[in-house]
Structure 1
Amino acid sequence: MSDPESACLVDGERRLDNADLEAAVAATAAHLSRLGVGVGDVVAVMLPNRAEIVTTMFAAWRLGAALTPVNPALTDAEVGYQLEDSGARVLVADERGARFGATSGVAHLPVEDVWMPPSDVTTPKHHKSSPDDFAFIVYTSGTTGRPKGCVLDHANVSAMVMSIVAHLELSEDDRSLLVLPLFHCNGLIVGVLSALAAGGSVVVAPRFDAPTFWELVERERPTYFSAVPTMYALIEAATTRAVDTSSLRFVVCGAAPMPADLIARFEQRFGVTLVEGYGLSECSVAATINPLHGSRKVGTVGTALPGVEVEIESVDGRRVGPGERGEVVIKGDIVMRGYLGRPEETAKVLKDGWLHTGDIGVLDEDGYLRLVDRVKDMIIRGGENIYPKEIEDVLYEHPAVLEAAVTGQPDDVLGEVPVAHVALRPGTSTTPEELRQHCLASLARYKVPRSVVLHDSLPKNSVGKLLKTALRD
């Protein structure tokens, strides 16, 4: 930051400058050291978004330990599984954390104690991390079975941060508004580490609230934030007044493809550049982002970030050229070390240094990536391949549609048929048949949903991704 005494980390009324942050990290490290944390250990943190997650991360790294962030919305059984699978030694949490000590042997460090230096412990030695030391063990959502721990080392994290800082031109004048949860890579790396590495500052929003979102922006004056498509849709739908977005240089969308119509509406209404990106935990968060300057191709997720290679692979393992569909594969220092304790599953996705994503995409002649769908989401209707995203994009063009998800439904004759699940924008109305006719105007008949189901809202995971598994069930 240009002023070292200004706040580098803001959490409500708590505003920490560099000296305050250093003191908080040192106190937390002393507590962790007292509880036996050292080089190669794992520290778990289970909290809603708050500054203590950030200081615990830095404190763990100071001791040579890795951080595994735990979603506080998980059940006790799910939390217990992550603690055991990661081998966590200490859990930083509220009072709920105490119950895991007896069942899993994990020491509980109450969150209210972490910034109060223990009187009986000397300041622990600062461990100088090496590039191959574990930095994060981040757990996947577990939609295809038990969650897996993605191991990211410090080389992965450093490469990712440097790439984001360069691509988004971050500097000491930037301020990140953190609205995504800190138990995922996007919040930790894009929202926190990249801003701080550039010398900027971070504002932690305790939770995302669409009706009051612009009040927070107007008060804290961030220069960027990163969010998911559902958040942008809710913000746009909830805004009923003129808002001041003049502090924002750009905003970022990731986690799931964003409908082109929503991007256009958001940019036009709020006068801010929205760049869409693509990535996953297995590649430290991002592999592509649309550029801030020059051509931003709506409907794509941009070009490969600095130091990253992105290619398309056919089903028989060939690299294919521009315009051809295939699986998106990624290579670079951002690609994870592997899944913790799962060599066979690691080998399935990491082949000759390339990360196989399970996403179907197309690269154009300029290197812009367009996502077609997930391999597992493709619907095969009587031998015809149907990509749900294509139908969803058409549904989003209807003025009444807030959220849309298309899934396959078993059919005795055709094998599968598409079914659309839709939530409507507040104050609007339509019928399933009207939405089917809307699709029929833009899609081949075999792609039109067999039925449309209206919902008050669609199920989502902890970062706002629509849960198609729940809709299929």
Structure 2
Amino acid sequence: MTGTESRAPRHGTGDPLWPVYDRPSDLAAIESVPLEARGLPSSTYAAVARAARLRPDGPALTVLPSAEEWPRAVTVTFAELLAQVHRFANLLRAHGVARTTAVGLLSPNTALLPAALLAAQTAGIAAPVNPALSAEHAARLLASSGTRVLIAAGPELDAEAWRTAREVAHSLRLTALFALRPTACAGAAPELEPVDGVVVAHLDTAAAAHAPDRLVGVEPPAPGDLAACFHTGGTTGAPKLAAHTHANEITDAWMIAANRLLDEDSVLFAALPLFHVNALIVTVLGPLLRGQHVVWAGPSGYREPALYGVIWKIFEHHRVATLSAVPTVYSVLAQVPVDADLSALRFAVVGASALPPAVREAFEDHTGVELCEGYGLTEATCASARGFVGEDHRPGTVGQRLPYQRLKTVRVDADGAWHDLPPGEPGTLVIAGPTVFPGYVTGCGPYGPLLDSLGTVRDGWLDTGDLACVDPDGFVRLLGRAKDLIIRGGHNIDPAVVEDALLAHPGVTAASAVGRPDPHAGEVPVVYVTLSPDTAVPVAELLAFAAERVPERAAAPKDVMVWDGPLPVTDVGKPAKLPLRLDATRQAVVAELASCGVRLAPGERVGCELLDGRPLVRVPHPADRTLRLRVAAALDRYAFRWEFATEGRP
């Protein structure tokens, strides 16, 4: 029996797993059937097993070694993927991994990483960590999850990540450390340096002796079992790990896949790192549920400059139907000459940070491909709203709430009390439903990770920290963020780690990091500091000092501003970020005006205020029409709102 012959009923043909979901108006009919009647797989392992049963010979993953070597890609069928998961899960069990044991993953993308992550969820709990983190920071995260076994990039794949993995394995006294090799690598694996008291081996070599056709000593996970702990940004210096159950992940992946924008034969392109929850839910689990083929970029993903020289050729060759990326990527793609047939490319998915209207317009005009926005956060598993294309696109929104998720806005009083707001009224966005996480990992006990929502969930409703309005049809219009998280190119940055780096300088007495608007990255971190009396420290020195101490390159501040007087505080004495965010926005606009040749006249200034939760920037109206057009084009690249302050000038 071939993979094609063994498929389940096609999407929308009576199979309760796949209802008709073409338009926003389909939501009510979908939700008239209880979610538990949909027949979703019970776990991520069950999703792999189901795909292998229905499409054993169908291509599951095609992984590129690199942009230059993309024709040498490695393809894995669904049956082969299941065999890999069996071998790796059985290996983990042999090294003491149980249902509540965390397995760390510290690697850029490579051919065996998806199976390794799924095996970690099958045998225990996956704990993926950014391989670019410092060894100290990675160790803190992995210790918080209770990691006992680590799967990491080997020295051929990422020498720096391997050094980090060895330090972590030694400091945490792990049971085993398994190395991943590059995709399509040739020749014998190099010998690995030992780590005292730790089993060290290549993952594929160590797993070769284990059964590929079944789980041995491993009970398949239940829906309520923990599947993963994902690092999420926060507003304190302590690392925060958001726990997900198997039901969380499967349900959210199904919500994303349960639409007819794509069919079962569609090919997806993936290039986000697998330590990002979007990569797992959108480009691993969603396609697994539909039996779709995913083409994965090389280890550096969208960060590999050479990818942009061949990306359209890759899309043509594999008949790619969609991709998922952040606004920064689409800003670059809008400049890449289209030198291939993109007729298979139906739409492109964008999320993680605000999409400037000019980026949307430039990409769509350049490629003829529509962008489909989405919204989500790690504490709600991944996605909570998605847009539509064509006539159902709602400009200015990030899409409609996904099936079975409830979204509303509330007013939060000074005493912390919540008050529901009517549809369409701006307020703090809260979410309820089957994707809300069980809590942050606060420690490990005899029965596994200890969880606490830390006040973010009340009566089943998750406080997103985002300001928004939700219309009666469930479409979400984001207005800004109430929380302090900095999002750089879709990458979450905890402002506390930037502040802590500056506070270690002997001349700095206070520090407050905020996001400054950026036309390419959405936001970049900048820091406001106060200095000791009679102290003068060059900004260049402070920047270099911070760059050496932040845990990852993306968190290094782009600028440091010395604040005259105490940093702003709220009425109760807590640090106030809003005045600094507005000042950073104003400075970004002043710099943009200067690059356009606009010099402010005496008495002229850029105004910046908060209106309906979003910055509104008022720009002096240049007298010269050419300058006006240049300013308009420049500021349209940003996600904030702006207007000329003086109309009627010639």
Shorter-chain TM-score category?
0.7 to 0.9
Name the residue aligned to 1:333: 434
Distance of 1:331 and 1:432 partners within structure 2: 48
Shift of 1:362: 1.4
Contact persistence 2:87–2:208 (CA under 8 A): no
The aligned counterpart of 1:430 is: 596
Aligned to 1:368: 475
Runs of 4+ in 1 over 4 A off after TM superposition: 117-123, 342-345, 401-415, 431-434, 437-446
Measured after TM superposition, the shift of residue 443 of structure 1 is 11
Q: 1:36-93: CA deviations, max 9, x gaps? A: 1122211111110123221112222332x11111110000001111111000111001
| Alpha-carbon offset, residue 349 of structure 1 | 0.3
CA distance in 1, matches of 2:74, 2:564: 57
Q: Which entry has the higher C-alpha Rg, 1 or 2?
A: 2
Contact 1:350 1:356 in 2 (8 A): yes
| 2:216 counterpart letter in structure 1 | P
In structure 2, the partner of 1:232 is 330
SS at match of 1:116: helix
How far 1:17 moved relative to its partner? 1.4
Is 1:89 aligned to residue 254 of structure 2? no
Separation in structure 2 between the aligned mates of residue 66 and residue 195 of structure 1, nearest angstrom: 21
Aligned match for 1:10, one of 62, 65, 82:
62
What is the Cα deviation at residue 442 of structure 1?
Answer: 13
Q: 1:259 aligns with which of 352, 356, 361?
A: 356
- Matched-pair contact (CA < 8 Å) for 2:441–2:452: no
Once the two structures are superposed, what CA deviation does each residue of 1:337-363 show, in whole Å capped at 9, x if it has no partner?
A: 100127896141011000001101112
Between 306-315 and 10-19, report the one with greater CA deviation. 10-19
Once the two structures are superposed, residues 73-124 of structure 1 have per-residue CA deviations (whole angstroms, 9 ceiling, x without a partner) of: 0000011111110001110012422332221012201224323364665662
Equivalent pair of 2:253/2:285 in contact (CA under 8 Å): yes
- Structure 1 gaps, min length 5: 379-387, 451-465, 467-473
Alignment of 1:147 with 2:231, yes or no, is no
Cα distance, 1:315 vs structure 2: 1.9
Structure 2: runs of 5 or more not aligned:
5-54, 65-72, 156-161, 182-201, 444-449, 486-513, 529-562, 569-578, 621-638, 640-650
Deviation at 1:283, TM superposition (A): 0.5
Number of aligned positions between the proteins: 428
Equivalent residue, structure 2, for 1:61:
121
Alignment partners' CA distance in 2, 1:24 and 1:449: 58
CA apart distance, 1:179: 1.3
Aligned twin of 1:312 = 409
Q: Which residue of 1 aligns with 2:312?
A: 214
Secondary structure of 1:336's partner? coil
> TM-score, with normalisation over the residues of structure 1?
0.80
| Alpha-carbon spacing, 1:432–1:55, altered in 2? closer, same or farther (3 Å) | farther
Change (3 A) 1:365 1:59: closer
In the alignment, residue 77 of structure 1 is paired with which amino acid? E
Please state if 1:247 is matched with 2:344.
yes
Q: Does 1:49 align with 2:109?
A: yes
Aligned to 2:41: none
> What SS does structure 2 have at the residue aligned with 1:197?
helix
Q: What's the offset of the Cα at 1:33?
A: 2.2
CA–CA distance in structure 1, aligned partners of residues 484 and 180 of structure 2: 40
Task: Please say if residues 90 and 217 of structure 2, whose CA atoms lie closer than 8 Å, have aligned partners that are also in contact.
Answer: no
Equivalent residue number for residue 115 of structure 1: 204
Tell me how far apart the structure 2 counterparts of residues 80 and 443 of structure 1 sit (CA, whole Å): 40
What is the TM-score when the length of structure 2 is the normalising length?
A: 0.60
For the residues of structure 2 that align with 1:31 and 1:414, how far apart are their CA atoms?
Answer: 54
Query: Which of 93-102 and 45-54 deviates more?
Result: 93-102
TM alignment of 1:188-207, pairs within 5 A: 188-206=280-298, 207=301
Residues 259, 299 of structure 1: 8 Å contact kept = no
Quickly say closer, same or farther: Cα 1:313–1:271, change in 2 above 3 A: same
Residue 100 in structure 1 maps to residue 168 in structure 2: yes
